[in-house]
Amino acid sequence: MSQRVLTTESGAPVADNQNSATAGAGGPVLLQDQHLLEKLARFNRERIPERVVHARGSGAYGYFEVTDDVTGFTRADFLSEVGRRTETFIRFSTVADSLGGADAVRDPRGFALKFYTNEGNYDLVGNNTPVFFIKDPVKFPDFIHSQKRDPFTGRQEPDNVWDFWANSPESTHQITWLMGDRGIPASYRHMNGFGSHTYQWTNAKGEAFFVKYHFRTNQGVRSLSAEQGAEQVGKDANSHQTDLLQAIERGVNPSWTLHVQVMPAAEAADYRFNPFDVTKVWPHADYPLQRVGRLVLDRNPDNVFAEVEQAAFSPNNFVPGIGPSPDKMLQGRLFAYADAQRYRLGINHTQLPVNAPKAAVVDNYGRDGLHATRYGSRQDKNYEPNSYAGPAQTGQALAAPIAVHGWTGTHEAPAHTKDDDFFQAGELYRLMSADEKDRLVANIAGGLSQVTRDDVIEKNLAHFHAADADYGRRVEEAVRALRED
C-alpha cells in the first residue's frame, strides 16, 4: 500500500510536520508558516457549543421494520407496508450534565430517533420516561437552570433542584419515576424509550388520531441502584457508550419493539384528564398498546463528532400522515429544538451527512449561509412563485387541522374532570414492590434532606403526601432521620 501524503486544508503537501519554520535554527517562529498557523487555528475551533441539555450522548445507525398494519391510523409512507424497512439514526443522552459528564447517573435519558424516509426525515424526540417534569414550555429554561450547575458555586445544588420542584407540583409524577428503580439504566440497550408527548396521526381518509409512542427494549429492562451507579461511574464514566459500541461491534444488535396507544381525536375533549398533558400517562386499560414494528441498531458511527455531536433532531420534522398535537410542551419544542441547532451548527446544519435526507430529494429555495454545500443549477431561480418549473407546493397538509376557539392570552390548560398533579404519582407508587418503595424513599430522602430551607422541604413533602399517604409518611420520616444524624 502506497504511503498517503499529509496535506494542508487546501490540499498542498506538508513538507515537515515535526518542526515549525523559524528564522534560523534557533530563531523565532515565522508568521509565514502556513501549516503551523492553520493547524493551531483549526485546533482552537475544534469544539462547537455543546447542547444546553442532552449534551452527553451516544449514537448508532440501524433500521425500523414495520411488523403490523397501521394504515387505518396513518398514511405515513414508511409505515404503509408490513416488512417495509427505513434507515434510522438514534442518539441516546443524559439530560442535565455537561459533555464531560458520566453515563451511569440518576437522570432521564434522551431517546431521539431520525427516520430517513422517502418523504423526508421524520424526527421523534423522546425520553426513557413516558412523562416529564413540567407541562408548559415557558417554564423550561427555569427548570433547566434549577438542575444545572449553580452560577456561584459551580455545582448542582439540592436547594435549587428541590426548590423548583417544591413550587412545581406537576413534577411529582416524574420525580417518582426518576427516583425509582429505573432512574439509572444499566445501559442504553436495557431501557425503554417513549415519545412522551402526544402526536397526531392522520389516515388516507383524513381521519385524525392522537398517539403515544412506546419503544420496549427486547434486551429486558435492567437498572442500577444508587450504589451500583456510583461504582460504575468510578470504573468507567463512559460505561453506556462503551456498552453500546462494543455490543454492536460484536454483532449483538440491540432492538426495541414499537407500540402505540391510539386515541380517536373526537375522544380527547371529554377524556377524564387532559390527554395533552405530558406529566401524565394514558392508562393502558383505556388505550391498549398496539404493535407497529421493531427498531434494530446495527452500525456504529465512524466519527463521534461528525455523526453524534453534530446530529440535529427537531420534533417539527414531520412527514405526511404525522403531525403535532396541542401538547404545550411539544409546541414549545417545535421551535426550540431547531433553533438550538441553528445556533450550535449553523443555518445549513441539515446539509451535514448525518442530518441530510437519505431517501428523499431536498428541493427548495434556501440558499447560501455559513457552510452551504447545496446549490441549484445556474438556471434555477431563487424565488417562488416563478415561471421556470421551480419546486412548487403540493396543497396537501401533512396532518389534519385542529380546531381552536376562544380569546388570545396566557391561559392555564383547560381542566378535565380528573386533572390533578398527584394521582398518577400515587398510582405509580402503589404499583411498586416493597423493595422498590424502600429504594424510592431512600433516593428521595437522600436528596431532599440536603436542602437547607425547611419551607422548601415541607412543600415537597406535601406533594408526596398528596400522591399517597404512605408515600408521604415514609419520605417525611426518612428525611427527618437523615437530618437528625
Active site residues: 54, 127
Of residues 453, 437, 449, the one with CA closest to residue 476: 449
CB 258 within 8 A of CB 214: yes
Q: What is the C-alpha separation between 165 and 218, in angstroms, rounded?
A: 34
Residue spans of beta strands (DSSP E) within 195-289: 199-202, 208-217, 255-264
List phi, psi (to 5°) of 159.
Answer: -60, -45
Amino acid identity at 218: N
CB 271 within 8 A of CB 419: no
Containing H/E element for 445?
helix 434-448
DSSP for 153-172 reads TSS--HHHHHHHHHT-GGGH
Q: What is the C-alpha separation between 97 and 270, in angstroms, rounded?
A: 40
Q: What are the angstrom distances between the C-alpha of 349 and each of 23, 99, 118, 258?
A: 42, 20, 20, 29
Q: Parallel, antiparallel, or unpaired: how do β-strands 255-264 and 109-117 relate? A: unpaired
Beta bridge partners of 290: 260
Q: How many CB atoms lie within 10 A of CB 224?
A: 23
CB 167 within 8 A of CB 219: no
Of residues 315, 213, 331, 321, the one with CA closest to residue 263: 213
